Every structure is written in structure tokens, then in C-alpha cells.
Chain A
Amino acid sequence: MLRGLNQERIVFTIAVVLFVLFSVLLPGFLSAGNLLSLIQNVSILGILGVAMAIAIIGRGIDLSILSTMPVSAAWLLTLVNGGMPIGLAFVCALGFVIAVGIINGTLIAYVEIPAIFATLAMGIVVYGFGKAFMTPIDAVYTGRGESWFYAIGSGRVLGIPSPVIVFALVAAAAFLFLRTLKPGRFIYGMGDNPLAARVTGIPVRPMIILQYVIISIIALIAGIVMATALAGINTRLALSTMVYDVILVVVLGGIGLAGGKGGIRNVVVGTLLIGILLNGMTIMNLTYTVQSILKSVILLLAIVADTLLNPRDEQTAQHGDI
């Protein structure tokens, strides 16, 4: 029985247990409004989690999304505030994130820099470039337009907050991409065994570039949701530790850093657990710092449980697999 427990199931069980506990103990937790806001509060984390999942499944990682997201979104707002039509500004921002994705992919695929370093450095470069040449002021606010564009993050469709809908759409699109499209299957193959994938004839290098371009585009979407939800965006976000939260959501859901395993479902599970935790703790009026401590200790326990149930063998562990 215990053997059948993997990380995803553990996390799911914890999430369910917490959900039941909070529903019983916390008045107001189980209301529809609260549940929607629970998901809404983590939807941006979830969108970024989807992007990170695509990277990790392909045995990569992208630490630069937390720079790409605020910089591209802030630039978009700057352009719009400067009088450019929204459509054109969006195309500009899209071009920018695609360029970032291509550079990331090239560094990883062709220069063969480990993904963690390439994207770490690119994160710094993107933030620096953005601050020096695109948006000299950290915080950029949305103008007072009446376009549907501003409703992406703050509106509601059929009573559901639009960030939740965007999260669902992104997750569904990524799910279909990974499950049904050839490049999606290739990403699994590359993550499982890059050398075998290469020998099989998968164009590994172009696929890596495609992978990081998709990730960057999802980051732009997350940025737009965030900017329109909060009526502005601050590029200082790139200096925060939010990227670690994103990785945790993904890994907590059960996507191994070794690649080739897991799917979008895992991201949703991981995101929900974080959402339930944060929401419940806020209702209990725990301070922000206590919340962080509790949240991270639970995360640690989850991966400890996974390790205990599925231990790594000294003989089969991959060398250099950190």
C-alpha cells in the first residue's frame, strides 16, 4: 500500500486532508467565493508552474522566467502608456520574449551550458537589459484604458475570476501540447534520456530552443495577467525569491528534476496544495513570516516522505545529478 505512494499522491493526500480540516475548522473556508479566490491567488504561480514544468520535463530548468515575466510585461505597459496601440505593443513584447527564449535555448543546446546556469545568467541579463534600456522605472502602472485587455487579470467570466480561466487555458494548452503533439512527446523523450533521443533522430537542439521559446511566451502571459490584475507591475520581482516558489510548486507536484516524468496534472496538484495552505493560514491570521515557515516545512516534509518511500540507490543514481 505504502509502496504505491509517490510524491504526487502524498501531496494530493496532504492537500485533501488540509482541505477537509480547514473546511471543518475554519468558518468561511468552504464558501464558493473563498475557493475561487483561493485558486485565483495562486493562478499566476500556477501559470509559471506550467512553464517551469515544460522545462523540467525536458531535463532543463528555467530560472529566467521571473525576469522575463515582469520585464516583458512592464515594457508592454510602457509602450502602451507611451501611446502605442495595445496590439502592436503586444507584438513587440512577444518578439522580445521569443528572442529571450531563443537565446536561452541556444545557450543550452548549442553552447551546451547547463540549463541552470544559462538561465540563471540570462535572468540577470534580461533584468539588467530591461532596466537599462526598456523600463528605467521599476514600477510601471497600467493606464486608464477601457480595453478588454485590462480585464485579463481583473475581470470575471461567468462569475469566475479571469486569472483562473487563463490558468486553466494555459494548463489545458500545455497538456494537449505535451500529450498529443510530436514536439511535446519529444520533450518527454529528451528528458528521459537525451542521448537516446538524439540517437533516435529527434532534432534535440531545435527542440530545446522551441521548449524555451514556449516557456518565455507563457511567462509573458503570466506577466500580462499580473500587470492587469494589480494595475501595474514591478520589475524588481526579478530579484525576489519567487522563482524558488515556482520550482517548488512543480517539484512538489511530483515532477522529478531528472526529467522525463510527470505532467501538467502534477502542477495543478502542487499549486492547489500551496493555494489551500496560504488561504487557510491567512484565514487563521498567521503572520506572513509564520506562513512562510510553515509552508516551507510542509514542502520539506513532502519531499522527505517521497525520498523515504522511493529511495535512491547508490548504484543506480545518476552521476552528477544534483
Chain B
Amino acid sequence: MIGKSMWSAAAAVAILASVAGTVAAGPYDDGQSKKYYETMKGKRVAFVPLSMGFDLTEGWNAALQNQAKALGYTVDVRDPNWNVEAAVQAVNGFIADKPDVLILHPLDQQAYNRLVPKAQKEGIYVVQVNLKSVVNGDAYVGTDWYDMGVRQAQLMAKTCGKAAGKNGKVAIVTGQAATPTVIIGNQGMDDVFAEHPDIKIVAKQSADFDPSKAQAVTSTILKQNPDLCGIIGIWDGQDTGVAAAVREAGMQDQVFFISQGGGNKAAACDNIANGNFDAYFSYDVPGQGRDLNAAVKILLQTKPKPGSAAFALYTPLKLITKDSLTASSCWTLDQLKRDGG
């Protein structure tokens, strides 16, 4: 007797609960959306950037955090502050914690070679952003650096080449020579300039990603080549130094300066607007943030075996010049934090 009433009570509770459940999940289920939300809820994403505190990583993080908050999962960040050793320790720490997805922004091409397979063996998806290890993860989101070099060189060839009636004298102010950005990008430029014999590289100097060195190097180059036609830069953070030297020499009208970067307003659009930069290839951090979120979502929904189905989402490059500049060409961190990627 007692047993029976217990059973019926339990059944009543169960029915109530299921009714309540359907009420709680009240929004319309198109057959995928409910599953989508449930899959994402409570998942753990880990992010090891080069370093926090600069526009790219802060931007990606803002995009990641926004989606995480909206969908109920977490994104943990550990900041190695430009140090490979610290980064490796941070990644090892994360692998021990077993998150669902690990997003890496590697400092160099080799350091994570052992860590990527190690994480995948633990069942963690590895996404690499903007820079790549030699070993591919499950997804790559970011710039195709070869394409970047090609686009910069093509623009320069068009602007300073014989076709434009210029003398073709071009200088390249590059960064720390060992970074993939520089190595791969330079290869792209070399390949383009090989087809344009009218372009003459008068100087190719590294400024070590340091704007003050860039200024010193550029000012000397300008003194040596008063008839210089164009300069190609490597990163907006360094390129302000190049621009300062050009401005100082009073050659802003003569020298065509192409920069590149993540498209932050203060670093890119402001400099285009005031004439520091003449052209700017942006890899559009909000777009990359969106891609990053997409990669995470795809991996978590399709659930391939880690390492079995790698894919890439190369970022479409956006050329910003004074003519194409609009209010929405660039982004600010505040806006990104508010709106998400």
C-alpha cells in the first residue's frame, strides 16, 4: 500500500518536473538550437596568448568572453607575458586541468610541438590563433602570412613601379627576424618583387618590433635615399616609429607607407586619418574573434576525435586607405567588449 502511493508520488513529481523543464526551455526549438545551447553549457575553454595587454589578444579575449557569458561556458586565460618557458608551463597547467578546448597563440613554431599532441591525447581540442606551431592542432584561425606579404608587395609594386611612373625605390622595415610573420611574409614579398624588376629594395632592416629603433633606422634610410618612394612595415606597433621619422623628414607626401596589424582604431584608423600610414592591411580582430568562437563551437558540436579532422579559417585581409576609411573600418576594445565579436 505504502509502496504504491510512493510510486505514484514519484511519477507525479517526474511529470511535474518534465513539464517544468519544457516550460523553462520554453523558447522555440528548431531541432538544433536546444542541442546547441545544451552542448555549449558548462564547457571549459582555456586560452594561452603570447601575452595579454595588447590589442590583438585583448580583442580576441573580449570576443571569447562575450560568447562564453552568453552561452554559459567559461574561458580561462593565463598570461605568460611573452615568455616561452612561462607559456609552456601555463599550457601544461591547463592540460592537467583538462578543459574541453585549448586555444593557443604560440610564440614560436617549435615550442608547442610536444604539447599539442599531448593535449589531444588527453581529449582536448587545440585551436591555434594567428600564429602556428609546426604541428597543426584541430583548427587554425588567423592570418595567412604569405598572403599578407604578397598583398603588401603587390600594392607597393602598383604604387611605386614603372607603371605608376615612380622610380621603384622601396625600403622594408621588418621585425625580429625569426618570427614566422617575418619569415613567411618576406617570402611572399620576395616572390612578388621577383616578378617586378622595376622595384628596387634599397634597404631591408630589422627594427626588432621596437618603434624607437624603427624611427632611428628609418630616419637614416631616408637620409641615404632622399628619393625613396615607399616603405613596407611589419606591425602597427612598430610602424608608428617609421611614420614619425617620415613625418620628421617632411616626406609624408613623397613616401608611400604600407603598414599592417589587427585594425585597432588608435593603431590603424587614426594613423590613416592623420596621414601617418598611407595604406593598412588589417586582419580584423573582431572577425578573427568571431572565427575563433566559431571554431570552438564547431569542435564542441561535431565532436571529432581530437587530431582527426583539422581545419583552417584564414582571415580575409581588409585594405584600409584614406579613401576607403569609414567609421566602421576599425574597432576599439570598449566596443568589442560591449558588442562581442
Contact = CB atoms under 8 A, between A and B. Distances in A.
A and B touch in their complex, CB below 8 angstroms: yes
B216 A278 contact: yes
B220 A41 contact: yes
B219 A154 contact: no
Contact of A41 (B82, B206, B219, B271): B219
B270 A230 contact: no
Residue with the greatest number of chain B CB neighbours at <10 A, chosen from A40, A138, A240, A283: A138
Contact of B237 (A131, A139, A239): A139
Given A136-B53, A144-B274, A282-B216, A231 B244 contact: yes
A33 interface: yes
A288 B182 CA distance: 14
Interface string B195-231: 0000000011111101111011101110110000000
Given A136-B53, A154-B244, A283-B220, A230 B266 contact: no
Interface in B27-85: 51, 53-55, 58, 81-82
Contacts of A136: 53, 58
A287 B217 CA distance: 10
Nearest to A35: B223
Contacts of B51: 138
Interface string A18-51: 0000000000100101100100111010000000
A231 B205 contact: no
A230 B241 contact: yes
Given A137-B333, A240-B210, A234 B216 contact: no
Interface in A276-318: 278-279, 282-283, 285, 287-289
Given A240-B210, A288-B206, A139 B219 contact: no
B276 interface: yes
A40 B206 contact: no
A137 B207 contact: no
B240 A231 contact: yes
B177 interface: yes
Given A137-B53, A141-B270, A161-B248, A230 B211 contact: yes
A226 B211 CA distance: 10
A265 interface: no
Contacts of B208: 288
B189 interface: no
B219 A40 contact: yes
A197 interface: no
Given A131-B53, A230-B240, A236-B82, A31 B215 contact: no
Contacts of A139: 54-55, 237, 267
A77 B113 CA distance: 40
Contacts of B333: 137
Contact of B270 (A33, A34, A144, A226): A144
Interface residues of A, number: 36
Given A28-B224, A136-B53, A239-B82, A230 B216 contact: no
A137 B334 CA distance: 12
B243 interface: yes
B177 A231 contact: no
Nearest to B83: A239
Contacts, number: 91
Interface residues of B: mostly helix, strand, loop or mixed? helix
A320 B180 CA distance: 45
Given A230-B212, A231-B240, A287 B206 contact: yes
B219 A226 contact: no
B322 interface: no
A154 to B, nearest CB: 6
A86 interface: no
B82 A283 contact: no
Contacts of B213: 288
A230 B54 contact: no
A289 B206 contact: yes
A98 B237 CA distance: 29
B54 A138 contact: yes
Given A139-B54, A231-B244, A34 B206 contact: no
Contacts of B224: 28, 282-283
A230 B53 contact: no
Nearest to A144: B274
Interface in A139-162: 139, 141, 144, 154, 161
A236 B267 CA distance: 16
A131 B82 CA distance: 14
Contact of B223 (A28, A42, A234): A28
B297 interface: no
A229 B276 CA distance: 13
Contacts of A237: 210
A31 B244 CA distance: 21
B25 to A, nearest CB: 39
Nearest to B213: A288
Given A139-B54, A144-B274, A282 B205 contact: yes
Nearest to A278: B216
Contacts of A288: 177, 205-208, 213, 217
A41 B244 CA distance: 12
Interface string A82-115: 0000000000000000000000000000000000
Interface of B: 51, 53-55, 58, 81-82, 177, 203-208, 210-213, 215-217, 219-221, 223-224, 237, 240-241, 243-244, 247-248, 266-267, 270-271, 274, 276, 333
Given A231-B243, A288-B207, 14 more contacts: A37-B220, A42-B216, A137-B58, A137-B333, A154-B244, A161-B248, A229-B212, A230-B241, A231-B276, A232-B266, A236-B82, A237-B210, A240-B210, A283-B224
Interface of A: 28, 31, 33-34, 37, 40-42, 44, 131, 136-139, 141, 144, 154, 161, 226, 229-232, 234, 236-237, 239-240, 278-279, 282-283, 285, 287-289
8 contacts: A42-B216, A138-B54, A154-B247, A161-B248, A229-B212, A230-B244, A282-B205, A288-B208
| 5 interchain residue pairs of minimum CB distance | A282-B220, A41-B216, A288-B206, A141-B266, A230-B211
